[in-house]
């Protein structure tokens, strides 16, 4: 059953008719069996073998792999209410779908959760970055205002000294101070407009992030559902094909049993 140096398969079937998802589950059981074998864990070996056998029995083919998992031993059963089968014939039985459908759904549900969690994590990281940038804006622009105020006061003080030294009249001094006040107000207005523009840009980026996040979730769910539906349909087609093959094999077997008697 497991891939170890002492493993020599008795059969040649080797789970060749299983679906890919079922093969993956058997492969995991085989790996568990190998690990238990190396550890001398008999109970673990038995549990791993039982897990692989459960996959085979629950598959569309409904079979056992035998003692080492390499054989094909059908587990077809016949309902008690069915007519008795003449001696020398095998009972007509059809394989039924196993757990592949629900297993496919479980895998896609898990993948959908993982995709949505990844989208949410990226969205939250980006929002935190934008919020941090928004929190820095008041300090950044208040500092710019303080610098402008300081520069304006220095300019006024310097002007007053020059005016006193040059004996400028009060009218000329008032006009100059008014011009400086207007320049200060204009500079403060420009700082406020720039701050408001950055706040608006950050708010827009945040809204765009939320829209992209919601669209990403919708797209992930839609793509996941489409892929899951496609795989479920493929599995149903595979089961139908296996049913047809099983029916043909059963009919051939019954025909051989019939012709061998005559």
pLDDT, tens digit, 9 for 90 and up, residues 38-57: 998 888 888 888 888 888 88
CA dist 140 and 195 (Å) reads 9
Task: Give how far the C-alpha of residue 104 lies from the chain's centroid of Cα atoms, to the nearest Å.
Answer: 14
CA dist 111 and 99 (Å) reads 18
pLDDT, tens digit, 9 for 90 and up, residues 77-93: 433 334 444 444 444 44
Closest CA to 203 of 109, 122, 110, 133: 133
pLDDT, tens digit, 9 for 90 and up, residues 105-140: 777 888 888 888 888 888 888 888 888 888 888 888
CA dist 80 and 72 (Å) reads 25
Q: Round the average pLDDT of the chain to a whole number and report it.
A: 78
Q: What is the DSSP letter of 86?
A: P
Query: Global pTM?
Result: 0.43
Contact predicate 184/152, CB 8 Å: yes
The predicted pLDDT at position 115 comes to 83
Contact predicate 4/35, CB 8 Å: no
**What are the C-alpha distances in Å from 140 to residues 105, 130, 134, 143, 154?**
52, 15, 10, 5, 21
CA dist 177 and 165 (Å) reads 16
CA dist 34 and 45 (Å) reads 8
The predicted pLDDT at position 6 comes to 57
| Residue 11, phi-psi category: left (phi > 0), alpha (psi -120 to 50), beta (remainder) | beta
Closest CA to 26 of 56, 71, 46: 56
Percent of the chain with pLDDT over 90: 2
Confidence class for position 234, pLDDT limits 50, 70, 90: confident
All domains in the chain, ordered by first residue: 20-96 (no CATH), 100-240 (1.10.287)
In degrees, rounded to 5, the angle at the alpha carbon of residue 140 between the alpha carbons of residues 134 and 141 is 100
């Amino acid at each position: 059953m497991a891939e170890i140096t002492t493993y020599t398969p008795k059969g040649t079937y080797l789970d060749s008719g299983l679906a890919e998802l079922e093969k993956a589950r058997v492969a995991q059981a085989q790996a568990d069996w190998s690990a238990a074998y190396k550890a001398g864990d008999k109970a673990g070996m038995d549990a791993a073998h039982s897990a692989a056998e459960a996959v085979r029995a629950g598959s569309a083919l409904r079979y056992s792999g035998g003692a080492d998992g390499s054989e094909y031993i059908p587990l077809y059963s016949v309902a008690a209410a069915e007519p008795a089968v003449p001696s020398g014939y095998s009972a007509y039985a059809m394989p039924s779908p196993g757990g592949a459908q629900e297993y496919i759904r479980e895998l896609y549900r898990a993948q959908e959760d993982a995709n949505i969690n990844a989208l949410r994590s990226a969205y939250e990281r980006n929002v935190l970055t934008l919020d941090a940038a928004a929190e820095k804006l008041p300090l950044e622009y208040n500092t710019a205002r303080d610098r402008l105020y300081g520069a304006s006061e220095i300019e006024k003080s310097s002007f007053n000294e020059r005016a006193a030294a040059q004996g400028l009249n009060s009218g000329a001094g008032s006009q100059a101070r008014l011009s400086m006040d207007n320049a200060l107000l204009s500079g403060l207005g420009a700082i406020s407009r720039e701050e408001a523009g950055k706040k608006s840009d950050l708010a827009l980026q945040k809204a765009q992030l939320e829209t992209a996040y919601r669209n990403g979730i919708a797209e992930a769910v839609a793509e996941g559902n489409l892929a899951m539906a496609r795989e479920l349909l493929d599995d149903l087609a595979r089961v139908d094909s296996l049913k047809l093959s099983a029916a043909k094999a059963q009919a051939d077997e019954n025909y051989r049993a019939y012709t061998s008697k005559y």
